[in-house]
Structure 1
Amino acid sequence: MSDDRRSVKTYVPAEQKERWQSHADDLGMSQSEFVRTMVQAGRRGFSIAESSDPTEPSSGESDPGGEDLETEVEAALADGPLSWEELVDAMVGDFEDQLEETLDALQERDRVRHRGREGGYTLTNE
């Protein structure tokens, strides 16, 4: 994994930031590490069914805190030690490919359009 890092900024309500900081403290993490980990965990927990229609979500097959994740962690560590960041990256999977396939399918069905002037992808009203 590269040590080349970039800053990402977001704005959240003060109460949410306080909850995140408290949770990060409870876990012995910095707030940056906590947010990065939670984003990756959220991305990992989102899956799309392996079907002919990639826009149909899976029906409860994802188990981000369960045995499937344990199996994947063990497989990632089978070749040797990984840092926290390397392990998180290994767990991310191919979410970006699934998202691209889903957007392509939605665009083919004219449910979503990419409109640069409007800031990106938008739903059609059809």
Structure 2
Amino acid sequence: MTADSDGTERTSVRTYVPAYQKEQWREHASELDMSQSEFVRTMVQAGRSGFEPAEPTSTGDAPNGGGQSEPTSSDATPGVDGLKTRVQEVLSDGDHYDWDELLAELTDDIEQRLDETLQELQSSGRVRYSGRHGGYVLDE
């Protein structure tokens, strides 16, 4: 186990899946610019959202008997607290970030990734740019 700068401990979780499934996860994580660990963590948390109680439980009433309830997210995507988690991960190194530096860390050069993705989609004929309509559209 390792201790994060905020005092939380991390531990590994091991599971076994068919080789084809691990490869699919690896490819999907790569497409999302995520590590395999980050991808699996995010997908598990997203999947758990459908199994959580409608109202947060009070301390001591946790469904797992652990004595505390898990924090819930107020992010726009229910069950996926990616932005909050990512902000904490970036800030966990103890450095100070101004707004622009933090934004740059969180967006991972999104403009470059969007440009590359649109070029790929246009090359494959799946998306086209319409000057007449002033934007991109699926090419069906």
| TM superposition score normalised by structure 2 | 0.38
Higher RCO structure (Cα 8 Å, ≥6 apart): 1
| TM superposition score normalised by structure 1 | 0.41
Q: Which has the larger radius of gyration?
A: 2
